[in-house]
Structure 1
Amino acid sequence: MNATDRTPADLLRSALAADPSRPLVTFYDDATGERVELSVATFANWVAKTSNLLQDGMSVEPGDRIALLLPAHWQTAVWLLACASVGAVADVGGDPGRADHVVAGPGHFEAGLACGGDRYALSLAPLGRRFVPSPPEGYADYAVEVPTYGDRFAPYAPVDPEAAALVVAGAEYSGAEVVERARAEASGLGLTGPGSRLLSALPYDTWEGLSAGLYGPLASDGSVVLCRNLDQATEDTLTRRIDSERITATAR
Structure 2
Amino acid sequence: MNATDRTPADLLGSALAADPGRPLVTFYDDATGERVELSVATFANWVAKTANLLQDELSVEPGDRVALSLPAHWQTAVWLLACSSVGVVADVSGDARAADVVVSGPDGLEAARACSGARIAMALRPLGGRFPQVPEGFVDYAVEVPGQGDRFVPYAPVDPEGPALIVAGREFSGAEVVERARAEATGLGLTGPGSRILSGLPYDTWEGLNAGLYGPLATGGSVVLCRHVELAGDGVLDKRVESERVTAIAR
Distance 2:127 2:52 in 1: 21
Distance 1:233 1:108 in 2: 24
TM-score (norm 1): 0.99
Task: Tell me which amino acid in the other structure corresponds to 2:215.
Answer: G
Q: Which runs of 5+ in 2 are unaligned?
A: none
% same residue: 76
Distance 1:42 1:127 in 2: 13
Residue aligning to 1:184: 183
1:12-91 to 2 correspondence within 5 Å? Answer: 12-91=12-91
Residue 236 of structure 1 and its aligned partner are, at CA, apart by 1.1
1:225-240 to 2 correspondence within 5 Å? Answer: 225-240=224-239
Distance 1:89 1:81 in 2: 11
Distance 2:127 2:14 in 1: 27
Task: Tell me which amino acid in the other structure corresponds to 1:173.
Answer: F
1:80-229 to 2 correspondence within 5 Å? Answer: 80-132=80-132, 134-229=133-228
Residue 204 of structure 1 and its aligned partner are, at CA, apart by 0.2
How many residues are matched? 251
Task: Tell me which amino acid in the other structure corresponds to 1:215.
Answer: Y
Residue 107 of structure 1 and its aligned partner are, at CA, apart by 1.1
TM-score (norm 2): 1.00
Q: Deviations over 1:5-58 (max 9, x none)?
A: 000000000000000000000000000000000000000000000000000010
**Secondary structure of the equivalent of 1:177?**
helix
**Secondary structure of the equivalent of 2:72?**
coil
**Secondary structure of the equivalent of 1:32?**
coil
Distance 2:19 2:220 in 1: 9
**Secondary structure of the equivalent of 2:16?**
helix
Distance 1:169 1:233 in 2: 27
Task: Tell me which amino acid in the other structure corresponds to 1:232.
Answer: L
Task: Tell me which amino acid in the other structure corresponds to 1:43.
Answer: F
Distance 1:212 1:136 in 2: 32
Distance 1:140 1:188 in 2: 40
Distance 1:207 1:46 in 2: 23
**Secondary structure of the equivalent of 2:107?**
coil
Residue 196 of structure 1 and its aligned partner are, at CA, apart by 0.3
Residue 136 of structure 1 and its aligned partner are, at CA, apart by 1.0
Task: Tell me which amino acid in the other structure corresponds to 1:174.
Answer: S
Residue 106 of structure 1 and its aligned partner are, at CA, apart by 1.4
Distance 1:213 1:22 in 2: 17
**Secondary structure of the equivalent of 2:246?**
coil
